[in-house]
Amino acid sequence: MSRKIAIIQPCYIPWKGYFDIIANVDEFVIFDDVDFVRRTWYNRNRIKREDGSRWLTIPVSYSQTAPTLIKDTPIHGGWVDEHLDIIRTYYHKAPYFGHVFPGLEAAYESVRETNRLGEVTTHLIQYLCSTLGLTTPLIRASTLGAKGKKTDRLLEICKKRKAKTYLSGPAAQAYFETEKFKSANITVEWMDYSGYPEYKQLGLPFEHHVSILDLLFMTGENAHNYMKHVK
């Protein structure tokens, strides 16, 4: 059987492309045992508002001299109420707010007392997959015991999961050593994020790179019509 997997860090309420990758593989590995990096999507994302977009950021404790793994990065202080209030404020007039918000609120409440970033973001990813009807198995890299760095680490995970094809986001091409995968008889594919159709958003200009929450609030059960692999 040709088995395709993807391996990506857990991000906070990711954009639609993240879930399109999940929908396009047989197994998705949440890369939670690599170092947390500031100013990435790991603990923040953007939501749309009428005059542009704004960040939602989970506050974390972080030290450049003693970095922590994503799964172990401690959350600093409360944030759930603030984020729910902001989401409610911006989207309460969205067409599918009443359909989407109650379940989302329950998902946030379930991580209110969770104090590790990886646990929060992974749980919310699982919830959003369920909302989108995705059944792709999600595996945490921290349960696999893979060693090495960059390409070597990804290759070992692929071998452990008996993958025949590895699907990656396009940004990884900057450092990826394709020949190592070729030598292991594992095909490498690159996700194409171009060609997403626009939908009605709150205000102009249209922005693709915002949280999947925007698409859900604005299109509801029709979200798959604006994605590539979600059916």
| Strand pairing category for 138-140 and 187-190 | unpaired
Cα 156 from Cα 185, distance rounded (Å): 13
Cα 142 from Cα 123, distance rounded (Å): 15
Q: State residue 67's pLDDT score.
A: 86
Percent of the chain topping pLDDT 90: 90
Q: State residue 144's pLDDT score.
A: 96
Q: State residue 1's pLDDT score.
A: 56
Q: State residue 63's pLDDT score.
A: 86
In a domain, 92, yes or no: yes
Average pLDDT over residues 88-101: 97
Residue 39 phi/psi, 5-degree rounding, is 60, 40
Average pLDDT over residues 139-161: 95
Q: Is the pLDDT of residue 2 over 80?
A: no
Distance of CA 128 to the CA centre of its chain: 9
Average pLDDT over residues 120-142: 97
Question: What is the number of structural domains in the chain?
Answer: 1
Give the pair of three-digit tokens for residue 92.
Answer: 């309460």
In a domain, 231, yes or no: no
Q: State residue 52's pLDDT score.
A: 85
Instruction: Give the residue from 209, 211, 227, 208 showing the smallest Cα distance to 86.
Output: 211
pLDDT tens per residue, range 161-213: 999 999 999 988 888 999 999 999 999 999 999 999 999 999 899 999 999 99
Cα distances (angstroms) measured from residue 125 to each of 107, 114, 128, 151? 10, 15, 5, 24
Average pLDDT over residues 130-136: 97
Q: Which domain holds residue 148?
A: 4-226
pLDDT confidence bin for 87, thresholds 50/70/90: very high
In a domain, 103, yes or no: yes
Q: State residue 200's pLDDT score.
A: 96
Q: State residue 62's pLDDT score.
A: 86
Tell me the pLDDT of the chain averaged across its residues.
Answer: 95
pLDDT tens per residue, range 38-54: 999 999 999 998 888 99
